[in-house]
Structure 1
Amino acid sequence: MARLSKEDIELILQMKISGKSSTEIAKVFGVAKGTVNRHLRNNNFFNSGKLLQCKNCNKTFTHKVNGGTVQKFCCHKCRCNYNNKNRKIKVKRTCEVCNKDFIANKYYKRICSDECVERKKEQLEIVKNKKRFKNRKIKLYKTECKYCGNRIISKYRRSYCNNLCSDKMDSKRRSLRKKKLKKCRNCSVWHHRVGFCCSEYCMKKISTATNRDYSKKRYQIARENGKFDRGITIERLMKRDGERCYLCGDAVFF
């Protein structure tokens, strides 16, 4: 789309004065309706011609036909900025929760403080729970979480608001708990470590000693029961007794 020249803009003004609409003019020039209106606005076609001064930016502007009897601002932006700067709202109201008189800075403010807001939330929660359990006879308990301190309203006497708080409190207690000193079984050194020994070296020493004792006891019990061959293997058994089990008679596979 080509730009409109000065001659085209003069023709648009003449056509508008003759009584044609902006849509008809836009079809003739092959342009959008908004561009036609923009050019008309720039050439002060919609203005009545009266000069005024803006209250916000102190610029002179021409009075618009649709601007009302008293036009104080040149545009909508200036009006909004001026109103935001000079807004002083002071309304006397009574609090919905505690029924105290206070001065509100906003039109929609009906509660005096944050404490009253929290009280109202609690009241609304109680009303909701009462509606839910209307036909049931259930007591509602108010408690505080032992970890985070949030207020809880429930039909059970709870000490924590959720599982996360209870887990955190348990970990806190464990960290504060005093660790008991223990004596190492191998080197008899006092330590805080989990288990019976102070280090892995001591653990290995004790394990080898226990295994040795266990093997000695096992051979002692075997000797008490009778004579036995200590170096017996499956190959020697097969040579001695054959390839069949003497108890069940099945073949022995190796």
Structure 2
Amino acid sequence: MECNKRNLKLDNTEFQKQPCFDAIGLAIAISFVGGYAEIPLNRIINALAAANALEMWDMRKAIIEQLRILASKPESAPFAINVAVCNLEKDKAKYVVKQSLDKFDEIIKQNSFVAINNSSFEFFISLFIYEHSTTESQVAIELAVQAIKVWCGNDDQRYTFAKNILNKLRLFCNFDFIDQIERLIDQNLTIHSLRDKVEIANDTATQHNTLKITSKTTGDPITDSDEPLKFEKFRQIELPAVKPDANGIRHYSFTIEFEAPKELLLSNKPKLIGLQLEAILECSNQ
């Protein structure tokens, strides 16, 4: 980041207006005055605060330009959007965020996209919808819906927030464009709700299908009823003395008792029980 040399102005009043102004920001400002400053991404807010407090408008302009470059790259755009919306005036934030709209479809796929805060998401999605609402582009509608779905995830509060954004945009955008987005969002919420019900039902069925295997002789559960069913291998079984038949074969009978809720037994679902019993029987040739 290149610049012309100049003197620093220190004003106590400006310091109080910039709570993020600190020694780190001051060091960056001094480097900038010296002709070059390298700002780590996690120190951009410190640098902006220093530029504002010291009224170093050329440094501030240079930082905004760097944010604009970051906003044009999908992998860094969510970060740039967040910083711009939360730390710049509306017109400057728009200048940065608008740069990201051409890569909208790639930006919303970034893992960091879901981490942007409410204000940043509102600014980003509102600008995108506003820019495309007059075109009635189906692609733009689907992208807006996808962005809302990705950012909201399973968070109902975020969905409510997103719907409030759409209501605000009605005053400035094509009604039909907003209606189509809302319809698709409502469909997604309905599917999401049905999926939740299915998952709850499946959880209940899983609980009912968790069997407790009990030894008839001891009465002790082999598996805990609160844990998933485990199939144990019996590698050694002590068998009672049984006389062999005429062919020298000893015949044994086993009784295995399963306890299960009646809901499972009465249901029409297939009932599968897996057993793994291993026994090595050595019979003498007598």
Shared fold (TM-score, shorter chain, > 0.5): no
- Which structure is higher in helix share? 2
Structure showing greater radius of gyration is: 1
TM-score, normalised with respect to structure 2: 0.22
TM-score, normalised with respect to structure 1: 0.24
- Which structure is higher in strand share? 1
Structure with more contact order per residue of length (Cα contacts < 8 Å, sep ≥ 6): 2
